[in-house]
């Protein structure tokens, strides 16, 4: 028996920024800007893109209608913290290299993001 996990948005912490809506590859998240967002469980593939994009950490993966165990919740939090630490260490190392390289590093990050979006669109 496989457990199906879907994203769940904690409505008390959601600020309606819309970042999760923009990164969801299956359009499983709906909602208007500055309003509460929600997940359509049938479309959610548990890809965790929304979890990574959420600035308020209000999105969790859990089985529908069942609260996530503390152990599973802590595992997800640790996984997300590792990702954030990796990203911040990359940015910190580029910031300490030289002040003049900061715009170049940002340009490269933007160029990489655009390339990922174009690749994803061409696959569709």
| pLDDT reading at 1 higher than 50 | no
For residue 33, being part of any structural domain is answered with: yes
For residue 102, being part of any structural domain is answered with: no
> Which residues have a Cβ under 8 Å from the Cβ of 43 and sit 6 or more positions away?
26, 27, 28
Give the number of domains in the chain: 1
Terminal Cα-to-Cα distance of the chain (whole angstroms): 31
The CA-based dihedral angle spanning residues 51, 56, 58, 29, taken in that order and rounded to the nearest 10 degrees:
-60
pLDDT value of residue 23:
92
For residue 77, being part of any structural domain is answered with: no
Sign of the alpha-carbon torsion through 66, 60, 16, 29: negative
For residue 37, being part of any structural domain is answered with: yes
Domain residues for 26?
6-68
Share of the chain above pLDDT 90, in %: 8
For the ranges 9-18, 27-36, 47-56, 68-77, the one whose mean pLDDT is highest: 47-56
Residue 91's pLDDT band (cuts 50, 70, 90)? low
Residue 89's pLDDT band (cuts 50, 70, 90)? low
For residue 11, being part of any structural domain is answered with: yes
For residue 79, being part of any structural domain is answered with: no
For residue 61, being part of any structural domain is answered with: yes
pLDDT one-digit tens code per residue, 38-71: 888 888 888 889 999 999 888 988 876 666 677 7
| pLDDT reading at 98 higher than 70 | no
For residue 78, being part of any structural domain is answered with: no
CATH of residue 33's domain is 3.30.70.20
């Amino acid at each position: 028996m496989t457990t199906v996990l879907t994203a769940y948005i904690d409505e008390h912490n959601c600020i309606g920024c819309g970042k999760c809506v923009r990164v969801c590859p299956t359009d499983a998240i709906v909602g208007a800007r500055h309003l509460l967002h929600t997940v359509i469980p049938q479309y959610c593939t548990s890809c965790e893109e929304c979890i990574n994009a959420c600035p308020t950490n209000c999105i969790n993966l859990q089985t529908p209608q069942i609260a996530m165990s503390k152990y599973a919740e802590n595992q997800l939090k640790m996984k997300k913290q590792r990702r954030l630490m990796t990203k911040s260490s990359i940015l910190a190392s580029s910031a300490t290299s030289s002040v003049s390289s900061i715009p170049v590093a940002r340009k490269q990050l933007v160029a990489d993001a655009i390339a990922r979006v174009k690749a994803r669109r061409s696959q569709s």
